[in-house]
Structure 1
Amino acid sequence: MVPALRAAYNAAFTQEKFDSYLHDLNSKYQPLQFRMAETPVFVPKDFSRKIFDACESIVDVILQPGFKEQTDRAIPENYAVKNENSYPHFIAFDFGICENAEGILEPQLIEMQGFPSLFAYEVFLDDVYDKHFKIPEHYSSYLGGLNRETYLSLLRKIILGNEQPENVILLEIFPQQQKTNIDFYCTEEYLDVKMVCVTELIKKGQQLYYLNKGKETLIKRIYNRIIFDELQQQAPEVRDKAKILFDELEVEWVTHPNWFYRISKFTLPLIQHPNIPETRYLNEITTIPSDLENYVLKPLFSFAGQGVVIDVTRADIQQIPDPENWILQKKVNYAAVIKTPDEPAKSEIRIFYFWEDGAPRPRPSNNLARLSKGKMIGVRFNKDKTWTGGSFALFEQ
């Protein structure tokens, strides 16, 4: 992406330096549950401007009157949680680094979520990376004019609101067992917000409590990390315990679970932008495109890439019994643009947006990146490959 920085980084890279970097990442909390890539992604200003223009166009749609009515159907039956607020505290936008028909690199939106990401871990990652490799001058992982201190201050303000840390929890399903548990440990350290499993909640009337050092402590605010779809894959006793989350509760959510569905694949057909692939609800397509090789078929209510049909055929479309729950999306051409010691890598960049109470709009704050040499981004497509996995992007300021 930035040839001079890429050449200098690759020339200076050593396995010993990378191993030392990994040691620090793995030794402070718990070992990482995912592979770390050997490099960050260097992003020039002209490319980042296109990313943020696309993000802001999506925010414009979210702010339009009637957005909630348009997206009510996005919330699966029996998944709606009460006391939804008027906006999502957090949004994550995933962009692929792609190549257009003219061979020019451009970002293309892959997915988005009204849901948190690895917000605290990225601070730790940035710190450790800078210790071992040094972040180039005029580049930063922090966005929107933020730095380490102001980023953490904003994150703390949004998650805690007006409450004390002991009255705020990070809620997950068996958090210590999650692949993203490194972020939960970082959250505990930076914000003093404890991770709590849904099975540990105590309900009294409309109030929730948890045991904090053996003492029942009132929960006033939930930093939600539960993907509610995943509750249905749990043992019956876990599902039964989680039913209390659908009751009328005296608690504030950050971000409210309903926004996970409202800002998702479901929203893509509502947006038109050069850096957002053409997307249509399958049930609204009257004529199946003749060039299906240029499309991908995605279920609306399946996550983490499950159920996606990459090589779409007419038969795939015709046999779908519920086309209202699927989208047909124009394929994007990922560019193998990250030079590595062997084959070049592809990349996706996730942009974090934070929405502070009382602010008219959310703002960009930080990012993460993933590198791949497989057909798709993800661990199962990159077995036995190096210079792939989790990372972050450094944006020219």
Structure 2
Amino acid sequence: MFDRPDSGERAVLVHLTLHALREDLQELKELAKSAGTNPVHVVTGSRKSPDAKYFVGTGKLDEIKSEVEAYSADIVLFNHALSPSQERNLEKFLGVRVVDRNGLILDIFAQRAKSFEGKLQVELAQLKHLSTRLVRGWTHLERQKGGIGMRGPGETQLETDRRLVAVRIKQIQKRLEKVDKQRHQGRSKRKKAEIPSVSLVGYTNAGKSTLFNRLTGADTYSADQLFATLDPTLRSCRLPNNNDIVLADTVGFIRHLPHELVASFKSTLQEASEADLLLHVVDVNSENRDGIIKEVNQVLGDIGADKIKCIEVFNKIDLLDDRQPKIDRDDEGNPVRVWLSAETGQGIDLLMNVLAEQFANSKSKKKCYLRPDQGQIRAKLFTCTKIIDEHINDSGGSDLTIEIDNKYLGLLDAIKTEEIL
């Protein structure tokens, strides 16, 4: 829906320090580079509150305009959320395109989306963002005319655009509901098979995809840029105790994530909200580490994942001096933090041991010998256990090799069994 910036487009960045809302200037620069623009100048300032018409004051507005002309900039990127009217007023005054922080993030998502589901989610977020920015730019095509033969259906082009956007939003929401059902079915099957799920969550560019590849041997795309991963990826992972888990690499979070994206990526974020364990990946080298951890925890609360057990993974220790891999534990001996480097592999074995500790072996392998009249027990075993092998014995009964969760061992009380080591 939006015209994405061409690579190398010259951009002037605008960053204000507001008393009520503080953003990170370095983060704006990284967002701009991730979108494919070339930041040529940064305009900074401070205000108690935004101006209702231009967000910035008239003096700062003149400064921005002079910098746009001096650097022949093609676009102005604001590190703040602008209202539709502020965006229009700024574009009219500056004579170039103006994109706010939310629009910039949406554009990056549009560039990163590869899967069918991801593209639908981004389009839905863009349409919701666009629906508030439709202006009366088409009044010359107004269909409400007087005179014989000139009376149209009584609908302006603006109203037509709004109606078409609303129709498209409903179409996408119906498609995403089907995708959500498919994801729910997949999660239900994994729960029925009692395969634990672990989701990697964290701030964008914390190293989640690199860690995911290191743990699973996958080859998903990873790069030193914001939102390198958009489409969730799931892979199985074998732990040192031979238990299997499903590991999910999810989209990175960012402070003040646009509400349109949170709503549109509901099905994707559910991989985190319905996981058995969260690994919160943190860039240990970040200057604002504590603030970033707080921001991620806030997003986890927004999606209903704040009650799930979470272990912090302090990544990128290779960038620190004399920092060795280690496990931090609480007073009860439970692991709360693992220090490692996904890039070099330092400490990966510690994380694998922690995961094995979290999902200790609670299953047993048994050889079961059933008589012909024990068909009801056989049916329950097929429902509650994993059947590895079955043979019909000479008496007409069944010899089963099963993997059973220890909580279901009571089902075996009435039959002859043998432990398999």
TM range (shorter): under 0.3
Structure with more contact order per residue of length (Cα contacts < 8 Å, sep ≥ 6)? 1
Structure with the largest fraction of helix: 2
Give the TM-score taking structure 1 as reference length.
0.28
Give the TM-score taking structure 2 as reference length.
0.27
